[in-house]
Amino acid sequence: MKSFSAVAKYLTDHAEPLAIKIVDDIIQRLEIEFSKEELEYYYNVYAQFIVLSAEGITLDGYEVPQGFIEMSRKNGERQAQLKGRISSIIGRYPQIRYGLIEQITQVSIEHGLSTEESVAVNKRVNFMLDTTVTETILAFERQTDSVIDEREKEINEKQRAINELSAPIVPIQDGIAILPLIGTFDPERVEHVFDKVIPSIPRLQVNYLIIDFSGILTIDTYVASQLFNVYDVLRLLGISVVFTGIRPDLATKSISTGIDFSAIKTYSNVRQAIEDIR
């Protein structure tokens, strides 16, 4: 164990020059170039690896320095926050492993470790590196899942806001309100109308509701038929409903689904509907 401690002390004391050698060897092998800032970053990271590896050599059993785990988690989280690929981190580990093991083996030999002791040191270093890979991936996945959850929450909140804006109820006079339908209507927005909009209408104490279709951009036959069902629902609630702004294409789609317009009062625009109600 004393020999392990001697190797660990040497690695700690010479972490910076050893890190520079490892990084420079990797650059030469892979024939890649780094800026001065990138070099300083990698020199520092590899020096940390060496110091933490030295600490791990002296630990018992399968213990891993907490610093190794924390650094790995930070790397994984940072990569996820930057929307990067986990492979860009994990892909560097074979080179890290090769360079680190090469240097530690050389130091072990110089400090008189036996072959068995050198193998034991290398096994510990490999175990620590495997642990860092695992922790990096797990942290990346946790952060990615968190980001996805936040995005989904944000999208859902925006969708709710859009749904509310696409079908707002606007009281205009005593007993009269307008429900302008705006934008592209899909089954989700129709569901919003039935679940949120219709239940709120009786609280407004209106006798007449003008549903204006002029702001609808696109609509399919299923959605059209569901929107016209609003008429039947509100009629059962004792509210008179009139339609305005039905374009020819919407009328054609509605008729093709078998919707009967004969019982529904329709007007070309909201003004005509208001004048008739008065």
Rounded to two decimals, the pTM is: 0.54
Instruction: State which residues form the domain around 222.
Output: 167-277
Whether 41 and 77 map to the same domain: the answer is: yes
Average pLDDT for 8-34: 87
Structure confidence at residue 14 (pLDDT): 92
50 and 179 share one domain: no
- Over residues 262-274, the pLDDT tens digits come to 778 888 888 888 8
Query: pLDDT tens digits, residue range 61-116?
Result: 778 888 888 988 888 888 888 787 888 778 877 888 888 888 889 988 888 888 88
Which domain-ending residue is among 108, 141, 158? Answer: 158
Q: Residues 240, 202: one domain?
A: yes
Same domain, 174 and 197: yes
Instruction: Show the 3-state SS of the chain.
Output: CHHHHHHHHHHHHCHHHHHHHHHHHHHHHHCCCCCHHHHHHHHHHHHHHHHHHHHHHCCCCCCCCHHHHHHHHHHHHHHHHCCCCCHHHHCCHHHHHHHHHHHHHHHHHHCCCCHHHHHHHHHHHHHHHHHHHHHHHHHHHHHHHHHHHHHHHHHHHHHHHHHHHHCCCEEEECCEEEEEEEECCCHHHHHHHHHHHHHHCHHHCCCEEEEEEEEECCCCHHHHHHHHHHHHHHHHCCCEEEEECCCHHHHHHHHHCCCCCCCCEEECCHHHHHHHHC
CATH of the domain at 201: 3.30.750.24
Residues 90 and 140 in one domain: yes
